[in-house]
């Protein structure tokens, strides 16, 4: 097995020039002048104009690139059965602490590997009394995203993504590991747990759980239990948010999962089109997070300059939906790999906590009032807190026991709210 | 007194040059190997059309369109600024010609009426005065600057247009948004809109208390194979074909940035529907590029037209909902055209709940763009429905479609 090659992001000047040529030619639509809720129909014109102006005149991609390159990055060749060999790009940072826990962080859409970077310093630290465990951190760009290769073939599904991510960990010498993920990353984490747990994937911590609703036929005991307990205020509010998402907020999903090629022309040829598509969700899915223009344009640029191109990031949505059963349905089964679930009140889909018990043995649970969909970016403190808590010494060497895990052993620990 | 003024399309040269400049700089995505039409408009098609568009002569298309008589007239819709409405107006020599309003949809335009103009003017059937507007935010009509311009307003615009031309009573033809808008016209102006021919049929299964006979028929007769195929087609559209609609109906502004800024974005967005929604219609490049250019060069800009989806899906409290328009509307005689490759292909028993049906045609072929794909079928429908002996003959007072001609009795010997 070949070892990983060090990698630095270095976008050719010609690409930067082409981008600037396009920005200079941007044609703006108008907008209806009297809407009360500014974001109700999508990104307001004033926001887009401001950002395009900034992108054209002030945003310094080379500085953003340099900032990203302060994190140790690599690429390595990973073979995916039936599909081929893919160059996978990833951050890999080892803790100075011996016996640090191997942790893989999986991003989603419209995020990227960059979402791990706020947590890195804290995750690498630890091991001392009262400090919580330390982690070795691996954060790939999913294939078709960031600086990993393009999948190039139909049917490259969550199964294949899971295989690639698992093999990445093996290639780095981590036969056993844990995962933290949200959004699409959480879907892939579930597939990894299903295929490679608990032997290799020892546990997963997820911040966007999508359990199926327990029914009298699917989960009779749980259903009977839940019938006796009314939903609390927070859970009702969560269901309302979920309803709004399904009625007003999932157009992107419906298009990306049916006609990704058609929308791909927009995302590839029009920087303002790509900006609006992504920024609408960065804004809509976060909890009053004060995105700086630099953050917004860095996130969007990672898509714009991605190896596979911005169109490719929609393919996984298409493949998920056209899998039989769909990837979402397939991962709503009980997977006997320890599960930690963080729920952020301002996430887009917030389902009743008890439903999570259909997903697997829950060993850690937390609920946060502040924070939305991009948990690792908006609340890195919360995710770090959860990971340290879930795998920490306070739990009597839980990690050691996980490594030698006996079946049917389930612990229950309730995390503290903050 | 009609304020209608003659109009000729004349797109400024800078717009044409700017389009070609952008087309030359198009950046294309990749494509998954051998994916065909699975994931949307294929790369080879879009590349070819982009190149063709770059070299295409808009002026010859413009000239052809300008052979059709066009006008503009100001229309005031309650609660909105004055709109300049562009329309095709083909008047018949026959004094008693039936005023016919033809309403286009998305991604169509006024030009969809053009193939039936000569067919309806041919002798041997009722005559029509044909009015085919560009809807506000489409084609060469004004854009609407404020929110809330929905079903009621579109109906009002079209109704006032007909009144302004001296047509107090009229009939309508429409599919796609034309279906919803002509239904809304019948809903709001039943004493003016006397009959409607519709070719995209959205309806609900008959419920016993409302339609006892239809319900019983529906229960007794099993669905035909054609009707089962229709469910499959309707199901396909719901599962695979509705992404565009949901995005346009929820985040039209987000989508507008790409459609307005990138010609290839608009091209792919529309071309995919021209392919998916028709029954193997052999679009020429000229047709495709003309259809899309009407959006590119539209008065309101290509980012505005699809706002109609948002406004219809978010109706104000005093407006009409889509469901209202999919249920029984009294007093407006209906002609229904059933096309197997339409997007909503529902059983007769469902469609007959829409209103008093006086005409039906069941076509073996044809899809969503009825006037484009099957102009002879549509002309046949209208001439039969409104002609002598037709279910809607003389539905407009004093406008039978025929001037008085001497009856051709054999001379008494």
Query: For the segment A371-401, what is each residue's pLDDT rounded down to a tens digit?
Result: 999 999 999 999 999 999 999 866 544 454 4
Q: What is the pLDDT of residue A213?
A: 93
Contacts of A262 in chain B (CB under 8 A): 39-41, 244, 268-269, 272
Q: Which one of A42, A270, A275 has the shortest CB-CB distance to B251?
A: A42
Nearest CA in chain A to B253: A42
Tell me the whole-structure pTM to 2 decimals. Answer: 0.94
Taking only the tens place, the pLDDT of each residue in A80-113 is 999 999 999 999 999 999 989 999 999 999 999 9
In angstroms, the CA A383 to CA A362 distance is 16
Distance from CA of A151 to the nearest CA of B (A): 8
Q: Which value, to the nearest 10 degrees, does the dihedral of the CA atoms of residues B294, B295, B298, B304 take? A: 160
Q: What is the pLDDT of residue B406?
A: 52
Question: CB-hemisphere CA count at 13 Å for B64?
Answer: 11
Report DSSP state, residue B108.
-
Q: Which one of A44, A150, A247 has the shortest CB-CB distance to B30?
A: A150
Contacts of A34 in chain B (CB under 8 A): 146-147
What is the phi/psi pair of residue B329, to 5°? -120, 120
Nearest CA in chain A to B309: A41
Contacts of B242 in chain A (CB under 8 A): 254, 258
Could A259 and B272 be called an inter-chain contact, meaning their C-beta atoms sit closer than 8 Å?
yes
User: For the residues A6-21, what does the mean pLDDT come to?
Assistant: 98
Q: What interhelical angle do A271-284 and B252-261 show, nearest 10?
A: 170
Q: Does the structure show a pLDDT above 70 at A414?
A: no
Contacts of A274 in chain B (CB under 8 A): 258
Distance from CA of B146 to the nearest CA of A (A): 5
Are A156 and A83 within 8 A, CB to CB?
Answer: yes
Q: Which one of A33, A248, A262 has the shortest CB-CB distance to B269?
A: A262
Are A111 and A374 within 8 A, CB to CB?
Answer: yes
Q: What percent of chain A has a predicted confidence (pLDDT) above 70?
A: 93
**Digitized pLDDT (tens) for each residue of chain B, 413 residues in all:** 688 999 999 999 999 999 999 999 999 999 999 899 999 999 999 999 999 999 999 999 999 999 999 999 999 999 999 999 999 999 999 999 999 999 999 999 999 999 999 999 999 999 999 999 999 999 999 999 999 999 999 999 999 999 999 999 999 999 999 999 999 999 999 999 999 999 999 999 988 888 888 888 777 777 889 999 999 999 999 999 999 999 999 999 999 999 999 999 999 999 999 999 999 999 999 999 999 999 999 999 999 999 999 999 999 877 899 999 999 999 999 999 999 999 999 999 999 999 999 999 999 999 999 999 999 999 999 999 999 999 999 999 999 999 976 555 555 54
Q: What is the pLDDT of residue B208?
A: 81
Which residue has 């103009």 as its token pair?
A: B117
Are A169 and A106 within 8 A, CB to CB?
Answer: no
In angstroms, the CA A200 to CA A225 distance is 33
Which residue has 């008494």 as its token pair?
A: B412
Largest Cα–Cα distance of chain A, in whole Å? 64
Nearest CA in chain A to B270: A262
Interface test with B, best of A263, A305, A313 (most B CBs within 10 A): A263
Distance from CA of A190 to the nearest CA of B (A): 25
Strands (E), B322-388: 333-338, 357-362
DSSP-derived pairing of the beta strands B70-75 and B83-90: antiparallel
SS3 label, residue A166: helix
Measuring CA to CA, which residue among A341, A365, A201, A151 is closest to residue B31?
A: A151
Residue A228: CB atoms within 10 A of its CB come to: 6
Which residue has 């229950």 as its token pair?
A: A412
Nearest CA in chain B to A249: B250
Strands (E), B69-202: 70-75, 83-90, 98-103, 128-133, 170-174, 193-198
Residues 6+ apart with CB under 8 A from A299: A110, A111, A112, A114, A278, A282
Could A25 and B307 be called an inter-chain contact, meaning their C-beta atoms sit closer than 8 Å?
no
Contacts of B32 in chain A (CB under 8 A): 151-154, 261, 315
Could A41 and B46 be called an inter-chain contact, meaning their C-beta atoms sit closer than 8 Å?
no
In angstroms, the CA B70 to CA B89 distance is 6
B398 sits in the region (left: phi over 0; alpha: psi -120 to 50; else beta) called left
Q: Which one of A18, A34, A311 has the shortest CB-CB distance to B146?
A: A34
Measuring CA to CA, which residue among B10, B53, B7 is closest to residue B287?
A: B53
In angstroms, the CA A67 to CA A292 distance is 15
Q: What percent of chain A has a predicted confidence (pLDDT) above 90?
A: 87
Could B254 and A151 be called an inter-chain contact, meaning their C-beta atoms sit closer than 8 Å?
no
Contacts of A82 in chain B (CB under 8 A): none
In angstroms, the CA B276 to CA B290 distance is 18
Helix (H) or strand (E) holding B183: helix B177-188
Nearest CA in chain B to A274: B258
Could A29 and B302 be called an inter-chain contact, meaning their C-beta atoms sit closer than 8 Å?
yes
DSSP-derived pairing of the beta strands B357-362 and B333-338: parallel
Are B351 and B180 within 8 A, CB to CB?
Answer: no
Could B261 and A28 be called an inter-chain contact, meaning their C-beta atoms sit closer than 8 Å?
yes
Residues 6+ apart with CB under 8 A from A307: A87, A89, A146, A147, A148, A149, A150
Could A29 and B30 be called an inter-chain contact, meaning their C-beta atoms sit closer than 8 Å?
no
Strands (E), A270-379: 339-344, 362-368
In angstroms, the CA A69 to CA A63 distance is 10
Q: What is the pLDDT of residue A131?
A: 82
Nearest CA in chain B to A45: B253
Give chain B's end-to-end CA distance (angstroms, integer).
51
In angstroms, the CA A270 to CA A26 distance is 8
Distance from CA of B245 to the nearest CA of A (A): 8
Could A261 and B250 be called an inter-chain contact, meaning their C-beta atoms sit closer than 8 Å?
no
DSSP-derived pairing of the beta strands B128-133 and B83-90: antiparallel
DSSP one-letter string for A190-206: HHHHHHHTTTTEEEEEE
Q: Does the structure show a pLDDT above 60 at A307?
A: yes
Nearest CA in chain B to A43: B254
Contacts of A277 in chain B (CB under 8 A): 254, 258
Q: What is the pLDDT of residue A418?
A: 24
> Count of H helices and E strands in chain A?
17, 10
Could B39 and A32 be called an inter-chain contact, meaning their C-beta atoms sit closer than 8 Å?
no
Q: What is the pLDDT of residue A34?
A: 79
SS3 label, residue A267: helix
Q: Token pair of A285, please?
A: 């899915």
In angstroms, the CA A121 to CA A93 distance is 10
């Amino acid at each position: 097995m070949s070892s990983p090659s060090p990698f630095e992001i270095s976008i050719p000047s010609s690409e930067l020039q082409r981008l600037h040529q396009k920005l200079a030619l941007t044609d703006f639509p108008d907008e209806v002048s009297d809407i009360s809720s500014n974001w109700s129909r999508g990104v307001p014109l004033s926001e887009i104009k401001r950002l395009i102006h900034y992108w054209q005149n002030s945003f310094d991609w080379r500085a953003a690139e340099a900032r990203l390159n302060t994190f140790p990055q690599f690429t390595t060749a990973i073979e995916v059965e039936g599909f081929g060999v893919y160059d996978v790009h990833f951050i890999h940072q080892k803790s100075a602490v011996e016996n640090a826990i191997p942790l893989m962080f999986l991003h989603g859409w419209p995020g990227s590997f960059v979402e791990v970077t706020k947590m890195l310093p804290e995750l690498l630290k630890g091991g001392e009394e009262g400090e919580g465990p330390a982690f070795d951190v691996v954060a790939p760009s999913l294939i078709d995203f960031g600086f990993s290769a393009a999948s190039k073939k139909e049917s490259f599904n969550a199964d294949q993504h899971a295989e690639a991510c698992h093999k990445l960990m093996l290639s780095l010498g981590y036969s056993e590991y844990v995962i933290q993920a949200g959004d699409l990353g959480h879907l892939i984490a579930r597939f990894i747990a299903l295929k490679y747990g608990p032997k290799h994937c020892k546990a997963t911590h997820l911040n966007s759980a999508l359990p199926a609703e327990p029914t009298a036929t699917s989960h009779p005991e749980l259903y009977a239990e839940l019938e006796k307990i009314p939903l609390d205020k927070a859970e009702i509010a969560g269901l309302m948010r979920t309803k709004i998402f399904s009625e007003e907020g999932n157009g992107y999903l419906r298009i990306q999962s049916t006609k990704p090629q058609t929308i791909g022309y927009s995302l590839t040829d029009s920087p303002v089109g790509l900006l609006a598509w992504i920024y609408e969700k960065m804004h809509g899915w976060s909890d009053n997070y004060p995105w700086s223009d630099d953050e917004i344009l860095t996130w969007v640029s990672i898509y714009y300059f991605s190896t596979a191109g911005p169109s490719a990031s929609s393919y996984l949505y298409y493949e998920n939906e056209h899998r039989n059963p769909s990837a979402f349905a397939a991962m709503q089964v009980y997977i006997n790999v320890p599960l930690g679930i963080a729920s952020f009140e301002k996430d887009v889909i917030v389902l009743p906590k008890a439903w999570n018990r259909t997903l697997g043995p829950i060993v850690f649970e937390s609920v946060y009032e502040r924070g939305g969909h991009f948990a690792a970016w908006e609340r890195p403190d919360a995710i770090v807190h959860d990971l340290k808590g879930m795998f920490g010494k306070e739990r009597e060497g839980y990690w050691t026991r996980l490594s030698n895990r006996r079946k049917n052993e389930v612990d229950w620990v309730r995390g503290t709210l903050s | 007194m009609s304020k209608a003024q003659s109009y000729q399309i004349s797109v400024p040269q800078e717009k044409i040059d700017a389009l070609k400049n952008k087309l030359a700089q198009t950046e294309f995505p990749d494509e998954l190997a051998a994916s065909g039409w699975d994931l949307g408009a294929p790369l080879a098609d879009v590349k070819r059309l982009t190149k063709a568009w770059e070299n295409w002569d808009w002026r010859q298309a413009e000239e052809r369109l300008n052979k059709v008589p066009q006008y503009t007239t100001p229309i005031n819709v309650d609660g909105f600024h004055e709109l300049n409405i562009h329309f095709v107006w083909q008047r018949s020599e026959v004094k008693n010609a039936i005023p016919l309003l033809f309403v286009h949809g998305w991604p169509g335009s006024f030009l969809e009426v053009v193939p039936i103009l000569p067919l309806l003017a041919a002798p041997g059937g009722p005559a029509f005065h044909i009015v085919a507007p560009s809807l506000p935010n489409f084609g060469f009509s004004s854009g609407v600057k404020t929110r809330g311009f929905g079903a009621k307003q579109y109906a009002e615009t079209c109704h006032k247009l007909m009144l302004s031309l001296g047509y107090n009573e009229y009939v309508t033809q429409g599919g796609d948004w034309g279906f919803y808008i002509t239904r809304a016209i019948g809903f709001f102006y039943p004493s003016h809109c006397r009959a409607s021919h519709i070719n995209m049929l959205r309806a609900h299964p008959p419920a016993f208390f409302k339609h006892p006979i239809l319900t019983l028929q529906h229960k007794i007769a099993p669905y035909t194979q054609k009707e089962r195929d229709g469910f499959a087609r309707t199901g396909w559209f719901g599962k695979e074909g509705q992404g565009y609609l949901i995005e346009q109906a929820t985040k039209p502004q987000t989508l507008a940035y790409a459609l307005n800024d990138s010609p290839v974005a608009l091209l792919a967005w529309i071309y995919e529907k021209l392919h998916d929604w028709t029954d193997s219609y052999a679009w020429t490049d000229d047709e495709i590029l003309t259809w899309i250019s009407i959006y590119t060069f539209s008065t309101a800009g290509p980012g505005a037209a699809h706002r109609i989806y948002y406004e219809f899906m978010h109706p104000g409290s005093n407006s009409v909902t889509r469901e209202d328009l999919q249920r029984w509307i009294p007093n407006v005689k209906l002609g229904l055209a059933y096309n197997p490759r339409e997007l909503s292909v529902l059983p007769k028993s469902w469609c007959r709940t829409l209103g008093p049906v006086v005409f039906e045609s069941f076509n073996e072929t044809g899809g969503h763009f009825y006037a484009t794909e099957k102009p002879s079928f549509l002309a046949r429908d209208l001439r039969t429905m409104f002609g002598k002996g037709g279910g809607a003959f003389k539905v407009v007072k004093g406008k039978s479609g025929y001037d008085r001609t001497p009856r051709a009795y054999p001379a008494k010997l």
